[in-house]
Structures are given as structure tokens and as C-alpha cells.
Amino acid sequence: MAERALKRSDEAAALDWIDRSTWLSGADAESDLLRARVYRRQGRMNDVADALRVAERHGARRTRIRDEQILAMAQSGQMRDAEPHLARLLMDPDADSIDVSRTFALGYIRTQRYEPAAKLLESWAADAPHDDEPRLIRGRLRLLQRNLNEADVWLRAALEIDPKNPETLLEMGHLMTSLNRQAEAATWYEQVLSHPRLGPEAAVGYASCLRSEGQSPRAAEVLREVLARHPDNVAMIRELGGLESELGRREEAIRLLERGAELAPYDAETRYLLAQAYRQAGRYDDARPHLEFHQQARLALTELNYLNDTLRTNPRDVTALARSGELMLQFAEPDEGVVRLLTALDVEPSNAVARRLLAEHYAAKAATDPSYRSLAEQFRLPAESP
């Protein structure tokens, strides 16, 4: 049952089934390895390492533990160490070739190596004519590359196989939004609003469509309904906070946006909306630091766009990788900044800038979670080691 849940990308249900099985029958190496796989799919790499240590104590073969470690490296973008194992893993009868293909494709995409990702997805799709997932990921990749016509072809091919897959329905909403076909986008987003994992993203897209059609009160209503189930989702908090301000509910807007800024202090848009709400309330001193951060972020994101263009041409430009990672740690999504810095180390393992930034990042996290201390030490430059 856990593997079925994982196949439909329901990682929470998969963990629930593993916990039930462990409670009923006791822990074993197979359940530990499956738990590590679920954690990997969730991006919880510290938990992956812990689960694999437990699996080893329960007698898991060392080769299987090593293969899961390789897949974790691939998913986190450490392709220099993972890529040499790809061909072997695809041919290994003990390995899950679908999981291998998915993981390496996502690793290539995260490190902006789009053509190897496309080739791997094409091979996977050819080998699995009744599997919608490689077509979905290929459509998502082309949407990321702004190749909207090809994205439409691949997403509709995925829908022909599974017309109810919520991830494909959501991507169709994003595609229609990119094509400025808001009414069509709304029909796709609406089908995903109740999904336990994708609902928040669908709600933000749906609300944006409603706002574009002059239905701001209805958009706010939808966001409130979904936010009640996902109270810490920053994207929804930001969207609803902006709407509440637009609708004249200033104090509610401030309450929401303060919460958003607390959850994601690097989110420049949330902080700008909060500054605007403060200014509308006459709280100019409260607004000032958020406006200053937003101005810094605008400059940083302009530079980041330039660096992304550079990396599309030369994905192994280590200077661009390290600098873009630094900017993303401060002004974008920190986890993606970590991926950029790890990719820089894939290209140049001794790169001092990337190592310093990773050591500082994990040292800051270790202040509240000691499990990150070993990562901080791993990346610390030799001269800095105690």
C-alpha cells in the first residue's frame, strides 16, 4: 500500500502505511529503505540519512543503501557524483528503473541541464507507453523553458493516459495562465482545489484568474477556505494578504502579511505588500525595513535573471553557479540556493565561495536544529576547522 501511495505521489499516505506496518509487524530493512525513499521524494535529506542508518542496522544490503544514497545525491543536484552510476542503475534488475529515471531527470532539471533530462524522459516514455508521468514531467520541463506549444502536446498526452491526475490538471492551469487564457486556466485549477497537497498552489492560481476577471471578493473567499486547511502556506498568505488590502480590510491584511514575513523572511513580494499595508495604516517606521529589503531584492533578482541566462548557455559556469546560489539563499528560495551551490561544487569541488556559503547556511540552521551541525562541518574550509 505504501508503494501504491508513493506511485501516485502521496508521500504522506506512504509514510502512514509504513508507520502502520512497522507498528503491526515491527521494523525491518525493507520498510526502512522505503521510508528513506519517501523522505527523498519529500526532499528531507537529513531524514534520508537517518533512515538508511537504521536500515543498515536492520540488515539491509550495503549495495542497496549505496544506491539510495546515489539517488539522494541525484535528486539534490549533485550530479558529478551521481551521474556515473546512471547506466548501471537503469540496467540493475534490483533497482526501480522508473524511480531512477524520475530522480535523475529531476536532478538534471534542478541543475538546468535540460537536454539530458529531455532525453531521459523520452526514453522513459518510449519504454512505458501507458505511464503518464514521463509525459507530465516532459510537459513541465517545456513549460519551464517557455516552449508552450510543446508543453501543451506533452501535458495533453499525459491526460490521455490519466485524465484525473491532479498534477497534470495543475500544470494545465499554469500553461493556460502562461497563454493568458484565464477562463480556461480557472477550470483546470478548480479541479485541484481540494487536493491535500496541491490545493494551495491551485488556489493561488485560481484566485489570480478570478482577480483578472474582476471577482476579487470570490478570490478572497476561495483563498480563506483553502488557507484554513494549510495555515502556513506562504504563497496563499501573500495572495490573500494582498487581496485583503485591496478590499480595504487593512488590519487583516497586516496580520496575514506579518505572518508570511515571519515564515519566509526572504520573500521580497510578501515584505513589499506588508510595507504597503503599513504605509496605508500610517505606520511608516514599520514599513521602512521591508521597503529597503525589497529594493535590495529587486537588484539581486535582476542580477539573478542575468546569471540564469548565463547558466542556460553554460550550465557549468562555476562563478555564475556560486553567485546565483548566494543570491537565492538571501532573496529567493534557500533550498534552491543550496542546490546551486552543490552544483558549483560538482563542477569545482574545492570552490571556496560555495563551500563557505554552505557552511554558513548550515551553521545558521544548526543553531536551532543540531542535526545540521555535521553538514556545516562537512563544508567548512580546512583553515576554518577547529
- pLDDT (0 to 100) of residue 37: 86
SS3 of 44, please? coil
- pLDDT (0 to 100) of residue 46: 74
Closest listed residue to residue 34, CA positions, set 58, 14, 56, 62? 14
Q: Model confidence at 1, in pLDDT bands (50, 70, 90)?
A: low
Other beta carbons within 10 Å of 126: 9
DSSP per-residue string spanning 314-340: -TT-HHHHHHHHHHHHHHS-HHHHHHH
Q: Which residue has the cell 536492520?
A: 58
Q: Which residue has the cell 478570478?
A: 210
- pLDDT (0 to 100) of residue 42: 81
User: For 57-70, how does the pLDDT look when each residue is reduced to its tens digit (9 = 90+)?
Assistant: 888 889 889 999 99
Q: Model confidence at 235, in pLDDT bands (50, 70, 90)?
A: very high
User: For 170-195, how does the pLDDT look when each residue is reduced to its tens digit (9 = 90+)?
Assistant: 999 999 999 999 999 999 999 999 99
- Percent of the chain past pLDDT 70, that is, above it, reads 96
Q: Which residue has the cell 528531507?
A: 44
Q: Model confidence at 374, in pLDDT bands (50, 70, 90)?
A: confident
- pLDDT (0 to 100) of residue 265: 94
pLDDT, mean of residues 102-112: 91
Give the C-alpha separation, 343 to 73, whole Å. Answer: 11
User: For 252-287, how does the pLDDT look when each residue is reduced to its tens digit (9 = 90+)?
Assistant: 999 999 999 999 999 999 999 999 999 999 999 999
Classify each residue of 362-381 as buried b or exposed e, where b means 16 or more C-beta atoms within 10 Å of its C-beta: bbebbeeeeebeebbeebbe
- pLDDT (0 to 100) of residue 285: 98
Q: Which three cell numbers stand for residue 289?
A: 525595513
Domain ranges of the chain: 314-386
